[in-house]
Amino acid sequence: MTTSIEIARHTLLACGLILAIGTLAAFIAQKVRIPDVAIFLLAGIAIGPHALGLIDIGASSALNQIILLFGASYILFDGGAALRFAVLKKVWITILVIATLGVLITASITALAAHFVLGLPLATAGLLGALLAPTDPATLMPIFRTVRIRARIAQTAITESAFNDPMAAILTFALLGLANGNGDFSLSHALFQLVWESAIGIGAGVVLGYLAALLIAHERWAFLAEYAPVVTLVAVIGAYFAASDLQASGFMAVFVFGVVLGNKESFGFRMEPGEAQKLDEFVLTTAFIMRLFIFILLGAQVDFAEVGRHWLGGVAVVAVLMLVARPTTVFLCAAPDHRAKWSLAELLFMCWTRETGVIPAALAGLLLGLRAPGADVIASVTFVAILLTILIQAPTTEWLARRLKLMEE
């Protein structure tokens, strides 16, 4: 048997195991009423090479990178499609401020904690702070599918998580040059990059979202209505690469594409009920499969030997991130928004809802590949943040929402 066939058989078996174990994990999560991403992460740790050894798909492998890239893109598209213009109109100021200035505040406080607790140089500590600053849409969106929180809070958290990723990525690469000793951090340049990436990403998303809506829901031109699920797949990939090729945020493009397609009725487009239901079921199932693969693989790639070296310091830094940096960011960025009129209960809920996930993990892997200063420590603390926020914050989301009386009627 040739090597390529053996590799294909091994990969197929691993994917089958992930699907089977992930389905069982989702069933368990549903029964115990906690977000499935937490169970997926634990399942991945259990079957990974450092535990039972049932699967071994490396973080740098092509399969893992494809799943991360397409999976994160499709989950972002799914989240965008669930948002509504009527809600976003009321909270856009909060979203804009918390996804830009908020990232800087969170990154700065976390970086100072990393500097004093872990003894990292300020530039390296800044890299870690930038990585941990964004919230994770791949985690938040499935949580809000099961936790029926007030629409404006859920949609604010999801939209923030989509828009703060580009800011965190820009900040990370700006600080990387500083940490390597071959560049100076420029706030004005970072802001210009943010505006550029956001504008191009939003533009690509709007154009492809409108075109997709035209082809599947227009009264006269919807000749691809029957193939709407395939159109969404092609458009998600197209939106990502259209923006990326223009040096802009592909993730923002797919998110905005989802927003436009999800609000197609606002542009006068309407699908037949049967076709709309078929599309909704396809998107829901595909997003579930992508989420399942992403978090099981993420758990399987946790290197406990490496994480163990910086466990105590990592926990301390993550505690500052969760209990100091995030609340400070929320109250400085959201509380002054008189248009949204956030209540104290809503602000407290947003303080707790800030899971770390896919994007920081991907950036940490990239820093390891580039041999950035302190990359091993950064990767270890990033995984500590992912484990703690997903295993502590995600399962307690519904409990907190009920205590604060923020559940939908």
pLDDT tens, residue by residue, 281-290: 998 899 889 8
Residue % of the chain over a pLDDT of 70: 97
Long-range pairs for 396-402 at CB < 8 Å and ≥24 separation?
Answer: 396/352, 397/35, 397/143, 397/147, 397/149, 397/352, 397/353, 398/33, 398/34, 398/146, 398/147, 400/349, 400/352, 401/147, 401/149, 401/349
Domain count, the chain: 1
Q: Which residues of the chain have pLDDT under 50?
A: none
- Token pair for 225: 């209505």
Look at residue 72 and tell me if it is in a domain.
yes
Look at residue 52 and tell me if it is in a domain.
no
Mean residue pLDDT of the chain comes to 85
Q: What is the pTM of this model?
A: 0.82
What distance in Å separates the CA atoms of residue 68 and residue 359, rounded to the nearest whole number? 9
Predicted confidence (pLDDT) per residue in 34-68, tens digit: 778 888 888 988 998 888 888 888 777 788 878 87
What distance in Å separates the CA atoms of residue 125 and residue 108, rounded to the nearest whole number? 9
CA end-to-end distance (rounded Å), the chain: 60
3-state class percentages of the chain: helix first, strand second, coil last, to nearest 5: 80, 0, 20
pLDDT value of residue 158: 85
Domain of residue 241 covers: 61-403
Burial class (CB in 10 A: 0-12, 13-18, 19+), 140: buried
Look at residue 55 and tell me if it is in a domain.
no
Look at residue 193 and tell me if it is in a domain.
yes
What distance in Å separates the CA atoms of residue 388 and residue 76, rounded to the nearest whole number? 23
Look at residue 395 and tell me if it is in a domain.
yes
DSSP 264: G
Predicted confidence (pLDDT) per residue in 117-165, tens digit: 998 888 889 989 998 998 887 778 778 877 888 888 988 888 888 778 7
pLDDT value of residue 1: 58
What distance in Å separates the CA atoms of residue 320 and residue 100, rounded to the nearest whole number? 20
Q: What is the CATH number of the domain that holds 92?
A: 1.20.1530.20
